[in-house]
């Protein structure tokens, strides 16, 4: 198999389970992508670096591996072969990378993605030698060329970037006939915060706090992925008790988000009872989490070498009891959802992403599992302690809002089971170990299955314990484009419901 030769040439990469890396040159960059695509691998992330010279990195995922393919560019070379024809999700990643480092894919779509005239076109925030801040001066807005749909009765509905609520900004341009959507085009990047540049100002032992704040609803997933990479660089062995407590925190985070999303989905279907009940249960769960683990959202719970604090046996038992009680109530709410004709009418057949389309677009996480893709890092490439916990993967094939709701209900039940199992089986011992300073230039990868999907952190050590480069990658990068397809043929009023069924991150996308 052609894909095999790249794995055979690769070397183990510290950090994530199954991670490997291979350096390529010239035409091998494109050939590796062709071979990996033919073998069924998915593109998980793509980013660029620009120090003395440039480099392009692509992370591919197979059933039993994560393969980082790195292309070194000469100092005077600023372009590389694009991958959009093989992996559609690469388009926006490549455009974002061009805005940040000036390294551009050789593709027709060269529109800016992140810049939004926030800095001059010739200012490169992540290129070596660039100032920390762009020069002060008047900037002109980009003339962004949206794709036009023409024909009798076709009109456009622009929505955003400022929305009628507290959600973050994003622009959605609908081309419609009547209320039926013919096309949706998104433009994001309005909340770009310079996170990747901020990482370079921190030490390796401080970076986990920023990682936890990349996307606040996935604080545990991001901080664990960061610490996993750092511990891989340092060769640190995580204490068993700390590993179990990290898994407990991750499942706690998953439960809270699924409860919140399911309530919001009920509300978007006009079923306020579902919102009221599931919001109540989420609040109970957040209070139980605070009592057992020290805070409601666990932003600084995962730290280098372990976790910030231990959990007392009686408090863990109470957390498990709370989880089981919430699970019993959720089963009742689920039955009501399933039996309510109005809810079913809004959910079933709405916002379909077929398994074939999901595979073509490289959909990941819970949205992919609702479209027939049985991939979950906790089961496929489990880090400690998930290999011992035996996660049961949840897969549905319908690909509609109802399927994405069903995945959430099923995964909620599985996370409740895992919380009870961890509380009962928690090993004794310490919850933190020392993490040594890694050598400069060493690189590692963190990969954790967050509640949305796989959260990736690529970390390179600098001199004297500094961060040379840290690239966090949210699963929303892959799934935002799929939303454009899911709405086609549906009516405009169904967009909020379809959008919420994905519930993608703006902040995790707009670094």
3-state secondary structure of 485: helix
d(CA 233, CA 241): 21
User: Where in the chain do CATH 1.10.645.10 domains reside?
Assistant: 196-498
d(CA 448, CA 116): 31
Cα atoms in the Cβ-side hemisphere of radius 13 Å centred on 271: 24
State both tokens at 185. Answer: 């085009």
Assign domain 2-106 to a CATH class.
Answer: alpha beta
Helical (H) or strand (E) element with 386: helix 386-389
**Quick check: 33 and 25 in contact, CB under 8 A?**
no
Q: What is the predicted pLDDT for the residue at 53?
A: 80
Q: What is the predicted pLDDT for the residue at 292?
A: 97
Q: What is the predicted pLDDT for the residue at 339?
A: 95
Looking at 162-281, which runs of residues are DSSP E strands?
171-177, 180-187
d(CA 334, CA 266): 11
> What residues in the chain have per-residue pLDDT under 50?
none
Assign domain 196-498 to a CATH class.
Answer: mainly alpha
User: Where in the chain do CATH 3.30.460.80 domains reside?
Assistant: 2-106
Q: Which of 58, 41, 91 is nearest to 473 (CA)?
A: 58
DSSP state of 364: -
Q: What is the predicted pLDDT for the residue at 410?
A: 98
Q: What is the predicted pLDDT for the residue at 156?
A: 93
Q: What is the predicted pLDDT for the residue at 161?
A: 87
Burial class for 363, CB neighbours closer than 10 Å (0-12, 13-18, 19+): buried
Q: What is the predicted pLDDT for the residue at 274?
A: 96
């Amino acid at each position: 198999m052609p894909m095999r030769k790249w794995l055979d040439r690769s070397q183990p990469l510290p950090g994530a389970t199954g991670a490997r890396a291979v350096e390529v040159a010239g035409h091998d960059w494109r050939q590796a992508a062709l071979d990996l695509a033919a073998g069924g691998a998915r593109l998980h992330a793509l980013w660029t670096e620009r120090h003395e010279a440039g480099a392009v990195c692509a992370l591919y995922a197979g059933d039993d591996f994560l393969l980082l393919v790195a292309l070194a560019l000469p100092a005077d070379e600023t372009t590389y072969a694009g991958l959009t024809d093989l992996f559609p999700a690469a388009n926006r990643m490549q455009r974002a990378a061009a805005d940040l480092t000036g390294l551009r894919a050789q593709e027709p779509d060269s529109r800016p993605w992140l810049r939004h005239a926030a800095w001059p076109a010739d200012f490169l925030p992540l290129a070596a030698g660039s100032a920390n801040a762009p020069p002060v001066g008047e900037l002109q807005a980009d003339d962004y060329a949206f794709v036009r749909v023409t024909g009798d009765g076709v009109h456009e509905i622009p929505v955003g970037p400022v929305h009628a609520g507290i959600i973050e900004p994003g622009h959605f341009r609908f081309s419609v006939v009547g209320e039926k959507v013919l096309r949706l085009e998104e433009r994001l990047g309005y909340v770009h915060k310079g996170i990747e540049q901020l990482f370079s100002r921190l030490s390796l032992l401080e970076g986990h706090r920023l990682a936890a704040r990349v996307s606040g609803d996935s604080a545990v997933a991001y901080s664990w992925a960061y610490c996993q990479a750092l511990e891989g660089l340092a060769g640190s062995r995580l204490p068993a008790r700390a590993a179990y407590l990290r898994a407990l925190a991750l499942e706690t985070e998953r439960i809270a988000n699924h409860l919140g999303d399911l309530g919001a989905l009920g509300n978007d279907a006009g079923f306020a009872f579902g919102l009221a009940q599931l919001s109540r249960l989420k609040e109970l769960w957040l209070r139980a989490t605070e009592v057992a683990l020290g805070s409601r959202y666990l932003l600084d719970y995962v730290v280098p070498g372990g976790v910030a604090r231990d959990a007392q046996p009686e408090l863990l038992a109470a957390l498990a009891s709370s989880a089981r009680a919430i699970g019993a109530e959720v089963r009742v709410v689920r039955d009501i959802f399933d039996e309510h004709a109005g809810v079913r009418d809004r959910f079933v057949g709405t916002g379909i992403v077929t398994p074939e389309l999901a595979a073509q677009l490289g959909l990941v996480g819970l949205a992919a599992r609702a479209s027939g893709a049985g991939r979950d890092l906790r089961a496929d490439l489990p880090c400690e302690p998930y290999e011992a916990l035996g996660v049961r993967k949840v897969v549905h094939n319908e690909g509609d809002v109802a399927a994405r709701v069903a995945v959430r209900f099923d995964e909620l039940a599985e996370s409740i089971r895992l919380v009870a199992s961890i509380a009962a089986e928690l090993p004794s011992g310490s919850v933190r170990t020392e993490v040594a300073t890694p050598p400069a230039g060493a690189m590692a990868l963190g990969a954790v299955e967050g509640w949305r999907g796989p959260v990736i952190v690529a970390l390179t050590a600098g001199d004297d314990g500094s961060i040379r480069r840290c690239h966090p990658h949210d699963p929303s990068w892959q799934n935002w484009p799929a939303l454009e397809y899911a709405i086609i043929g549906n009516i405009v009023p169904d967009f909020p419901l379809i959008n919420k069924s994905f519930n993608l991150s703006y902040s995790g996308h707009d670094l």
